[in-house]
Amino acid sequence: MKAHITDLLGHAATHIGVDATQLNIIIDRPKSAEHGDFSSNLAMLLAKPLRQNPRAIAEQLIQALPHSDYIAKVEIAGSGFINFFLSAQSQQTIIGDILKAGDMFGRNNLGKGENVQVEFVSANPTGPLHVGHGRGAAVGDCLARLLDANGWNVTREFYYNDAGAQIENLVISVQARCKGIATDDASFPENGYRGDYIVDISNAFLAKQTVTADDMQVTASGNVDDADAVRTFAVAYLRHEQDLDLKAFQIKFDVFSLESALYSTGKVESTVKALIASGKTYEEGDALWLKTTDFGDDKDRVMRKSDGGYTYFVPDVAYHYDKWNRGFKRVINEQGADHHSTITRVRAGLQALNAALNISIPQGWPDYVLHQMVTVMRGGEEVKLSKRAGSYVTLRDLIDEVGCDATRYFLAARRADSQLIFDIDLARAQTNDNPVYYIQYAHARICSVLNQWEGDVTTLKMVDLNPLNMPNEAKLMQRLSEYPEVVVSAGEDLAPHTIANYLKECASDLHSYYNDTKFLVDDVPTKLARLALIAATQQVLKNGLDLLGVNAPQKM
């Protein structure tokens, strides 16, 4: 429809002597219903070149506008807006479109089936997932769903560090607990992990249990002094814990990548060699440095420490080069904003590889979506601790307390780049304080009406829609027709929260309609038309909730 109106305006512009091909005609959906279904600022844009009053130009454009069956009325408003009002018939076509497309409604093929990888969560296995990981999980998974809806072939990937200093801390913490050393004992490792879950791992290790994570299976040896055995078991144990957290959060990964594998397969070494070959490295003070300043960093970074080990970003570069080799021309990394500084380094490393390996990784590759911190509130006070984890609120705490749907919704419904206050009381509320239930309730209400009708819902796609002539019906139809555009823009902007906002608006229109209008009326044509409208609404709510990974209940 936007294309159609653009076309009409283009013709009109040509008619009054303006070269329409030079124009970037923008068609908007006005916020207010009195401004029609679509509006254009074309007359304002032409005011300067034509040296005329925008309203006068709008007048001429409207005179020159070709006739269209889709348009019922065109008006000039404000300082020169041209507002288009759709005919009832053209507005009603959306209902049939939705009911015919069903679950596919709103999906498109913009991604052309190309591969995109979304890496998210990527928590190191040193403890249960916390709220911050939860935000990453919710946002990342919704991004993946959005890209899928926009026609991309999505791979969800989880990367973790199963070696290194943090893992060593985990190992010595487990060993200390195995030996019965309490966390407040002077001999407990200073930087050790003190959460109760360490005790669980210790007990399981001593009991020689077997743990099965999504990507590994390990049986404990029970030999506390064997650090390797403790490490592999503890990592598997915590990976399994994270799997359970993720499962409770309805998130599934396609690929798990281990940092250790980058070493064992020689990918780190070959990356380092290539970086050296690129000429962008130098030795200084027993360390090897990468000239990241050549790629926009504010200082050069150490690659290989004087003790011979690599700094974390070297395997990161190797990992991303591997992603590139695996055919991902598009990669989106969802991370906490505290990892912000790695972006420049990883991209710098990849740019340095370009010359040495004769490849062409684009400058801004990969994409990043960073989320800001989450503060959890309960009873007006900040919640900081969990008994299990010791020092932070776990994702599991939240899911257990407020449910998966509400947790997902609240963590994904805000712009990633603003700080988030998670109000547990609000998330638990079963009133319209709580947008999750508000949206789900709209869906459940429709289900309930359709059930009471007892007719065959699949026949509704064929009914005569002419009885739909009330303003609240027009408003709802317009809302439904926006949905595919919302999916596109949310995908382009990597902004899943806009889906949540849309659903709130859509639910609001439905509740308003529901309250004002009885659907199961005696007049059959009216009844069927209204049922078709709410059935279409039900479908859109369901499709939208699915993008958020939130259930659309039949009953509440």
Partner RNA sequence: GCCCUCGUAGCUCAGUGGAUAGAGCAUCCCCCUCCUAAGGGGAGGGUCACACGUUCGAUUCGUGUCGAGGGCGCCA
Q: Which of 87, 90, 223, 342 binds RNA (CB under 7 A)?
A: 342
Q: Say whether residue 282 binds RNA (CB under 7 A).
A: no
Q: Of the ranges 149-157, 176-184, 324-332, 490-498, which one interacts with RNA (CB under 7 A)? A: 490-498
Q: Of the ranges 150-158, 228-236, 331-339, 385-393, which one interacts with RNA (CB under 7 A)? A: 331-339
Q: How far is the CB of 486 from RNA (least distance, A)?
A: 10
Q: Which of 250, 293, 501, 551 binds RNA (CB under 7 A)?
A: 501
Q: Say whether residue 53 binds RNA (CB under 7 A).
A: no
- Distance separating alpha carbons of residues 472 and 264, to the nearest angstrom: 64
Q: Is the dihedral of CA 299, 304, 309, 311 positive or negative?
A: positive
- Distance separating alpha carbons of residues 510 and 175, to the nearest angstrom: 58
Q: Which of 68, 219, 508, 551 binds RNA (CB under 7 A)?
A: 508
Q: Of the ranges 4-12, 39-47, 263-271, 391-399, which one interacts with RNA (CB under 7 A)? A: 39-47
- Whether residue 38 contacts residue 28, with contact meaning beta carbons closer than 8 Å, is answered with yes
3-class SS at 344?
A: helix
- Whether residue 220 contacts residue 233, with contact meaning beta carbons closer than 8 Å, is answered with yes
- Whether residue 391 contacts residue 196, with contact meaning beta carbons closer than 8 Å, is answered with no
Cβ nearer to RNA, comparing 23 with 373: 373
Binding to RNA, residues 17-36 (CB under 7 A): 28, 30-32, 34-35
Q: Say whether residue 483 binds RNA (CB under 7 A).
A: no
Closest CA to 370 of 317, 416, 421: 416
Q: How far is the CB of 515 from RNA (least distance, A)?
A: 4
Q: In what side-by-side order are the strands of the sheet with 281-284?
A: 281-284, 287-290, 301-304
The separation between CA 440 and the C-alpha centre of its own chain, rounded to angstroms, equals 20
- Distance separating alpha carbons of residues 514 and 12, to the nearest angstrom: 41
Q: Which of 214, 372, 401, 542 binds RNA (CB under 7 A)?
A: 372
3-class SS at 134?
A: helix
Q: Which of 14, 311, 354, 551 binds RNA (CB under 7 A)?
A: 311
Q: H or E segment at 169? A: helix 164-178
Cβ nearer to RNA, comparing 62 with 302: 302
Cβ nearer to RNA, comparing 358 with 431: 431
Binding to RNA, residues 58-97 (CB under 7 A): 77-79, 81, 83
Which string of x and - marks every residue 127-166 that binds RNA (by CB under 7 A)?
A: ----------------------------------x--xxx
Q: Which of 53, 306, 325, 391 binds RNA (CB under 7 A)?
A: 306
Cβ nearer to RNA, comparing 127 with 204: 127
- Whether residue 80 contacts residue 67, with contact meaning beta carbons closer than 8 Å, is answered with no
Q: Of the ranges 85-93, 233-241, 261-269, 439-447, which one interacts with RNA (CB under 7 A)? A: 439-447
Q: Which of 120, 193, 321, 441 binds RNA (CB under 7 A)?
A: 441
Q: Of the ranges 4-12, 128-136, 138-146, 514-522, which one interacts with RNA (CB under 7 A)? A: 514-522
Closest CA to 120 of 158, 161, 162: 158
Cβ nearer to RNA, comparing 97 with 401: 401
Q: Say whether residue 260 binds RNA (CB under 7 A).
A: no
The two structure tokens encoding residue 495: 């902004």
Q: How far is the CB of 232 from RNA (least distance, A)?
A: 17
φ and ψ of 517, to 5 deg? -130, 135
Q: Which of 228, 284, 382, 492 binds RNA (CB under 7 A)?
A: 284
Q: Which of 265, 430, 458, 469 binds RNA (CB under 7 A)?
A: 430
Q: Say whether residue 47 binds RNA (CB under 7 A).
A: yes
Binding to RNA, residues 515-534 (CB under 7 A): 515-520
Q: Of the ranges 95-103, 263-271, 369-377, 540-548, which one interacts with RNA (CB under 7 A)? A: 369-377
Q: Which residue has the tokens 């070696």?
A: 163
Residues composing the chain:
556
Q: How far is the CB of 358 from RNA (least distance, A)?
A: 29
Residues with Cβ within 8 Å of 43's Cβ and at least 6 positions away in sequence, in order, are: 54, 55, 57, 58, 61, 76, 80, 81, 82
Cβ nearer to RNA, comparing 40 with 117: 40
- Distance separating alpha carbons of residues 180 and 174, to the nearest angstrom: 10
Residues with Cβ within 8 Å of 180's Cβ and at least 6 positions away in sequence, in order, are: none
**Residues in contact with RNA, total (CB under 7 A)?**
87
Q: Which of 63, 341, 466, 469 binds RNA (CB under 7 A)?
A: 341
Q: Say whether residue 464 binds RNA (CB under 7 A).
A: no
Q: Say whether residue 219 binds RNA (CB under 7 A).
A: no
How does 517-534 read in b/e, with b if 16+ C-beta sit within 10 Å? eebeeeeeebbbbbbbbb
Cβ nearer to RNA, comparing 55 with 388: 55
Identity at 30, one-letter amino acid code: P
Query: How many CB atoms lie under 10 A from the CB of residue 538?
Result: 24
Q: H or E segment at 211? A: strand 210-213
The separation between CA 461 and the C-alpha centre of its own chain, rounded to angstroms, equals 32
Q: Say whether residue 108 binds RNA (CB under 7 A).
A: no
φ and ψ of 281, to 5 deg? -120, 165
Q: Is the dihedral of CA 318, 212, 155, 130 positive or negative?
A: negative
Q: Say whether residue 191 binds RNA (CB under 7 A).
A: no
Q: Of the ranges 63-71, 92-100, 227-235, 497-505, which one interacts with RNA (CB under 7 A)? A: 497-505
Q: Say whether residue 487 binds RNA (CB under 7 A).
A: no
